């Protein structure tokens, strides 16, 4: 089991190039299963979750190879419609493949993804929508099979009870090759959904309204390959900005998606950091001590404050002057990182959905265990700004979402090594 050893207390300075988005790359890789042709994806991040997606594609008969940040996926000839239990367990996002496999093959078998570190992750909305599109669904001892009796799904009007990112993506993936028109009401508006739709349109799909809560997909007979560049990762960007805010110093984030990061940046600015964003670059400088955020920080579906950035911002606010309050509205178990932060000297009180952070003057290093992807990253944010040495174990969680994490931090002048 590898660890990150971080010696805190150094200000960060320098420029970094933002990696491609994990949450875009995964659904786009699933979408490439729909195209009868070769897709080339640029800016594909080197992450364990991306390799898991490549393994799923290859297990289904697609040819997927990754060289550097380029993924080549050829799904001209595909053979499988079942995702093995082992691959399902490797990555919860493998549920993303359900809509694509069903759309291409008319049938799909997979095991129920269990709960994960964020608590139970039900897929009821995904299944209800696919059933509206004509899928017959059977569940035998946790092995779920969805089958389109006519081989092809049919368009449907679907209203989601909550704007689920994964359900919206799965519906679109199933709808692009379905017969007729599919309408999604109360669709999720996350930028990564738009990125997947841009990719699908390049392949010949007809989709309108992505980025809004009313999406219309008109099914087509087939899709072809294309070349596509994956959007930058707004959550990795938020993490490095939060880290510089926590440690002090100045940084430039290059290849940044400014508009998509706005819900995060507008909150971070309230800490007193100087932030200037233009031409795909974000400059951040922290002078004195951070200020606490006065208004409750409520995680909401996009364009609200992103749940994925809650933990990393919290890590920066631990040493801010005053009290900040978070309200986590998306996931039930998203405060699991707080015990580790408390061990490092933070004053955090969790009460149901709320977490109250009373700013302390300084943090100290400690031995902590990453609990989940963003929670683990939050521990690193706190550690870079803390006095002394922090050892973070279970870093496989962090490797799921951050490309060359230690190299990026080192290039900013942080002291971190993998052991
Ligand atoms: C995606 C992101 C994840 C992010 C989340 C919210 C990827 C790979 N992951 O996850 O990083 O934190 O969006 O922005 O893109 N729910 C149900 N039933 C369903 C589906 C969802 O009850 O059928 C609930 C979930 O338990 C959760 C909430 O809806 O409480 C939001 O989930 P959802 O938007 O679906 O998140 P994911 O797509 O899993």
Residue pLDDT, tens place only, 271-322: 999 999 999 999 999 989 999 999 999 999 999 999 999 999 999 999 999 9
- Residue 116: per-residue pLDDT: 60
How confident is the model at residue 120, as a pLDDT?
64
Write down the pLDDT at residue 142.
85
In this predicted structure, what is the pLDDT of residue 122? 85
Region of residue 409 (left: phi > 0; alpha: psi -120 to 50; beta: else): alpha
Per-residue pLDDT at 371: 92
pLDDT at residue 117, as a whole number: 66
Query: Which of 3, 31, 5, 58 has its CA nearest to residue 414?
Result: 5
DSSP string, 17-80: EPPBPHHHHHHHHHHGGGBSSEEEEES----HHHHHHHHHHHHTT-EEEEETTEEEEE-SS---
In ligand 1, which atom is closest to the CA atom of 374?
Answer: 11
Supply the pLDDT for residue 114.
57
What pLDDT is stored for residue 333 in this prediction?
84
Q: Which residues contact 290 (CB under 8 A, 6 or more apart)?
A: 245, 246, 271, 272, 273, 316, 317, 319, 320, 321, 359
Tokens of 263: 């819900």
**Which of 126, 166, 337, 397 has most ligand 1 atoms within 8 Å of CB, for mutation?**
166
What is the Cα–Cα distance from 210 to 276, expressed in whole angstroms?
A: 28
CA dist., res. 355 & res. 232, Å (int)? 29
Identified catalytic residue from 39, 108, 116, 333? 116
| Edge-to-edge strands, sheet with 38-42 | 63-67, 70-74, 38-42, 227-229
Identify the pLDDT of residue 111.
Answer: 87
Tell me, what's the pLDDT at 358? 98
Whether 170 and 184 have beta carbons less than 8 Å apart is answered as: no
Low-confidence ranges of the chain (pLDDT < 50): none
* Distance in Å, CA 108 to ligand 1 centroid: 21
State the number of CA atoms in the 13 A half-sphere of 375 facing the CB.
Answer: 22
* φ and ψ of 357, to 5 deg: -115, 110
Report phi then psi at 416, rounded to 5.
-145, 140
Per-residue burial over 199-224, b if 16 or more Cβ lie within 10 Å, else e, is: bbbbbbbebeebeeeebbbebeeebe
Respond yes or no: is residue 64 known to be catalytic.
no
Distance 397 CA to ligand 1 centre (A): 18
Containing 315, the helix (H) or strand (E) segment is helix 310-317
The span from the CA of 155 to the CA of 270, in Å, is: 45
**Minimum-distance ligand 1 atom for the alpha carbon of 96:** 8
Residue of minimum CA distance from atom 8 in ligand 1: 23
Identify the pLDDT of residue 323: 98
Whole-model pTM: value is 0.97
Dist. CA 368–CA 385, nearest whole Å: 15
Q: Catalogue all structural domains in the chain, each as residue range(s) with its CATH number.
A: 3-18+232-418 (3.65.10.10), 22-229 (3.65.10.10)
CA distances from 27 to 94, 273, 281, 323, 418 (A): 9, 34, 26, 38, 30
Residue nearest to atom 32 of ligand 1 (CA): 164
C-alpha of residue 165 to centroid of ligand 1, in Å:
6
**Cα(300) to centroid(ligand 1), Å:** 11
pLDDT for residue 181? 98
State the closest ligand 1 atom to the C-alpha of 49, by its place in the atom list counted from 1: 8
């Amino acid at each position: 089991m590898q660890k990150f050893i971080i010696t805190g207390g150094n200000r960060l300075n320098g420029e970094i190039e933002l990696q491609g988005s994990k949450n875009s790359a995964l659904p786009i890789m699933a979408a490439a299963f729909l195209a009868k042709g070769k897709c080339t994806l640029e800016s594909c991040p080197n992450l364990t979750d991306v390799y898991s997606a490549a393994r799923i594609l290859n297990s289904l008969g697609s040819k997927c190879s990754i060289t550097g940040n380029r993924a080549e996926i050829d799904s001209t000839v595909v053979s499988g419609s079942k995702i093995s239990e082992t691959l399902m367990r490797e990555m919860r996002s493998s549920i993303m493949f359900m809509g694509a496999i069903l759309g291409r093959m008319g049938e799909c078998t997979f095991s129920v993804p269990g709960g994960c570190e964020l608590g139970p992750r039900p897929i009821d909305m995904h299944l209800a929508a696919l059933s509206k599109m004509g899928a017959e669904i059977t569940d035998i001892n946790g092995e779920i099979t969805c089958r389109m009796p006519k081989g092809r799904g049919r368009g449907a009007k679907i209203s989601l009870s909550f704007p689920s990112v994964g359900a919206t993506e799965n519906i679109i993936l199933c709808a692009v090759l379905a017969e007729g028109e599919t309408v999604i009401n109360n669709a999720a508006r996350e930028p990564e959904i738009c990125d997947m739709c841009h990719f699908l349109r390049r392949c010949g799909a007809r989709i309108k309204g992505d980025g809004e809560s009313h999406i219309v997909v008109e099914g087509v007979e087939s899709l072809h390959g294309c070349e596509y560049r994956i959007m930058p990762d707004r959550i990795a960007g938020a993490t490095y900005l939060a880290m510089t805010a926590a440690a002090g110093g100045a940084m430039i984030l290059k290849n940044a998606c400014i508009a998509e990061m706005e819900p995060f940046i507008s909150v971070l600015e309230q800490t007193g950091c100087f932030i200037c964003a233009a031409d795909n670059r974000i400059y951040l400088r922290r002078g004195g001590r951070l200020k606490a955020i006065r208004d409750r920080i409520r995680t909401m579906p996009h364009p609200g404050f992103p749940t994925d950035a809650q933990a990393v911002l919290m890590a920066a606010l631990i040493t801010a002057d005053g009290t900040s309050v978070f309200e986590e509205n998306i996931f039930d178990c998203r405060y699991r990182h707080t015990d580790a932060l408390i061990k490092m000297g933070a004053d955090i009180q969790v009460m149901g959905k709320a977490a109250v952070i009373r700013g302390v003057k300084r943090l100290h290093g400690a031995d902590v265990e990453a609990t989940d992807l963003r929670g683990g990253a939050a521990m690193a944010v706190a550690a870079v700004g803390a006095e002394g040495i922090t050892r973070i174990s279970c870093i496989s969680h962090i490797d799921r979402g951050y490309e060359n994490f230690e190299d990026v931090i080192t290039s900013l002048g942080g002291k971190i090594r993998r052991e």
